[in-house]
Structure 1
């Protein structure tokens, strides 16, 4: 049972289950919670630049409608009245959607994306739209349209990306549910950098429309301050939508958090990414957490990714996707594009059809090998990222010698190629106070098991 909330800051930190309980009992109103979250969003935005838009009028109207439903005992769901943010990449009726770009229209959208529609039908309150890099092309968050987004743990650092605004907002207490997208780590990387939870679901679990230019590496998923809230959000944004042809026509297993016993679990420890090196402090923290799991009875064995040159394989998909996205723009708008995005798009445009088909075949082989690996292992665990957050406004750490963000995202992008569910959960901090996370990977369809283990780890690592 919730005691009286003493401050607006504390109100903004309540989880979805606590809010639903309080709404039902009449101890809190969706209106007062929404007002607190709107005020928090306004307070943090000058420092963090997490929001492109804060919708006071729409949010309060939705909150009043939610308050009335709870008063009648007829909420749309347990999530009715939960403050929620949406990334500047999904269609939202009556909002502008700019994709972090100066090249897009400022027209209001006439329809919701499928995930947005599902969230709206369950009664959540949309408080605002969060920042992202242009068209979501990189794993940090700065854009020509909205500038640099910063990490709440250290304003000089990046929150990661491309769902960096969502992660920063979540960590700062501006909203409970946060919609993100993940094409190469864009949910998991900012969740790890900002010390929150996030899930890249099994591909197709959450419907998507229109189809991403980056193809079937791109997923939509939930971000929140806790694994329980990630699951609560996933439940209501999952489902079939006939506009999404890429969705499997079959039924995925139901979603539910369950108690996860660690004793006897067969865990593959993926310690070395396919490209780049792991920061020594990150490696030390993850090693110590893996030792805790072993002490709890988990069977830990080393795991190496199947296949080779996965960076080039991912680039074949990502760079051609960038080329396709920019090909839809008039030539005279290209001068406004982020130079890094323009570079990878030109590399993608230089690929021929045979190379792309060969990349698709290699991807299928890799995905099948990963499916086989997750028959032998209950889970694969790894660091959430190879490095902690670095300087804001840069694609890679200064003086690292790295050329592209993918070279430090080696624990992320391979799992987009194979489409397994992957969650991150905080597991420690560096000496500088920057969050470090562990990644939990499971078999396709096993989102509930992945989140159940993530919840168990969240409890263990918080102790």
Structure 2
């Protein structure tokens, strides 16, 4: 780990109630030592403070949150909570439907009317008795890996307001790091959970595709996933258990026959870990490389065996992903009239226009190439316990920029080379705190497993947290 002095963290000023994880809250609720209403009030105050400092929220609904918290308090007093996480405060990204709230997708071009029904993952969270604080910010339609433009106004990093929080779940990342709630629902189509998790110093998992139901289907297709973002590994795992499950509204989910989620332990001693060092696009920053080397040394000291790997079809991956992502952007903008489309982020307009200049034959060729890559990744994963890599090749950079200044990169995708391949392969992948740059900005370690092995990724996250507790908020 890089030798950096102790610096302030986003949690330094958080009240005690906002420092507790889901298990500690549930224990307090069950004993009557703490009330869901007290916790909701503290979380709402923290959300307001977080928004003032980072611009993380597009909606905070105190009245509804307190109503839900009072109902939770009554259930705990009666000894009949809806779930072990009843009354835990949560936020939802403004790209997922919540009944009674608008879903603006970060864009002024969308309908501001309240949604009539919850998305499947939100419905599961509601059925578990969670307290919904509000909606977190996203760039327009979640199209890029930084959170600015549209309705967000621009989310800055809670560690350093000059830096980006990442995206597209940047509001969720900032809220989690600030202690404004325990559970935060994000989405990930090319790194949109893992990138802000790395930049904000928290945990986030992109589950196996189909683990969490999605409805309506994303215009970006089957690269898009829903997943949890939290400060701690155990909360990430607990939230995934709440969100996961089959919903007949999501046909793309298939029959939902993934291995059941269960609590596992990950034994680092003797584990065979594939080491992925080089992204298919962009360059690896020296601070990230140094922190990754230090992480690998920690894993070796714990008894892990490291196996250097390269991704299959590496020279093709950027083009394959662009074909899928750009087509998704074009599909989303095709639903807008000319006036609304002209007001959308110019970058999204540009990639949509590029897709529209292509052919259906080219797109289908990319679909076939993706299938070949996914099968190769399935084979690679079979011979390893996990694959580890940096979560992002670059540290957090200047807020308001799509790419690191001076990098010469044309689009965010080029610097997101450790994330978008795993959207193509649909494998579970989590980012967790790895250390800091020399200036103190957070960095993330990524763990990837074979499809369906989400529990293994969560178990590794807990094992890593036990090795590096000082890196976690």
Give the TM-score taking structure 1 as reference length.
Answer: 0.97
Residue 46 (structure 1) shift: 1.6
Is 1:159 aligned to residue 159 of structure 2?
A: no
Residue 89 (structure 1) shift: 0.2
Residue 397 (structure 1) shift: 1.0
Residue 352 (structure 1) shift: 1.0
Partner of 1:437: 444
Partner of 1:294: 300
Distance 1:251 1:27 in 2: 40
Partner of 2:321: 314
Is 1:245 aligned to residue 244 of structure 2?
A: no
Residue 461 (structure 1) shift: 1.8
Is 1:351 aligned to residue 358 of structure 2?
A: yes
Partner of 1:395: 402
Partner of 2:27: 21
Distance 2:256 2:49 in 1: 45
Partner of 1:456: 463
Partner of 1:4: none
Distance 2:466 2:205 in 1: 17
Taking a change above 3 Å as real, the CA distance of residues 184 and 125 of structure 1, as seen in their structure-2 partners, is same
Residue 144 (structure 1) shift: 2.1
Gap runs ≥5 in structure 1: 1-6
Distance 2:14 2:323 in 1: 48
> Considering only aligned residues, what root-mean-square deviation do their CA atoms show, in Å?
1.0
Distance 1:363 1:8 in 2: 44
Is 1:87 aligned to residue 90 of structure 2?
A: no
Report if the CA contact (8 A) 1:203-1:419 is conserved: yes
The 5 Å alignment of 1:151-230 reads 151-230=157-236
Report if the CA contact (8 A) 1:202-1:419 is conserved: yes
Report if the CA contact (8 A) 2:14-2:178 is conserved: no
Partner of 1:330: 337
- Following TM superposition, the consecutive aligned residue runs of length 4 or more in structure 1 with deviations greater than 4 angstroms are none
Partner of 1:421: 428
Q: Secondary structure at the match of 1:64?
A: helix
Report if the CA contact (8 A) 1:166-1:223 is conserved: yes
Residue 250 (structure 1) shift: 4.2
Gap runs ≥5 in structure 2: 1-12
Partner of 1:236: 242
Residue 326 (structure 1) shift: 0.1
Distance 1:210 1:108 in 2: 15
Distance 1:180 1:94 in 2: 19
Is 1:9 aligned to residue 31 of structure 2?
A: no
Residue 323 (structure 1) shift: 0.2
Residue 50 (structure 1) shift: 0.3
The 5 Å alignment of 1:399-410 reads 399-410=406-417
Residue deviations 1:260-283 (CA, integer Å, cap 9, x gap)? 211111111000000111101110
Residue deviations 1:121-150 (CA, integer Å, cap 9, x gap)? 000000010000000000000122221101
Is 1:31 aligned to residue 37 of structure 2?
A: yes
Distance 1:8 1:282 in 2: 28
Report if the CA contact (8 A) 2:50-2:174 is conserved: no
Residue 8 (structure 1) shift: 6.6
Q: Secondary structure at the match of 2:253?
A: coil
Is 1:256 aligned to residue 246 of structure 2?
A: no
Is 1:116 aligned to residue 116 of structure 2?
A: no
Distance 1:326 1:362 in 2: 25
Distance 1:109 1:44 in 2: 25
Tell me the number of residue pairs that the alignment of Structure 1 and Structure 2 aligns.
Answer: 457
Distance 1:257 1:225 in 2: 19
Of 370, 389, 395, 1:363 maps to: 370
Distance 1:10 1:434 in 2: 24
Bigger shift: 421-430 or 285-294? 285-294
Distance 1:280 1:24 in 2: 48
Residue deviations 1:363-417 (CA, integer Å, cap 9, x gap)? 0000000000001111110001001100111101111101100111000000000
Partner of 1:51: 57
Distance 1:81 1:452 in 2: 25
Residue deviations 1:306-332 (CA, integer Å, cap 9, x gap)? 013211110000000000000011112
Report if the CA contact (8 A) 2:429-2:457 is conserved: yes
Of 282, 292, 307, 1:276 maps to: 282
Is 1:107 aligned to residue 113 of structure 2?
A: yes
Q: Secondary structure at the match of 2:468?
A: helix
Is 1:303 aligned to residue 303 of structure 2?
A: no
Give the TM-score taking structure 2 as reference length.
Answer: 0.95
Residue deviations 1:89-138 (CA, integer Å, cap 9, x gap)? 00110101111101001111101000000000000000010000000000
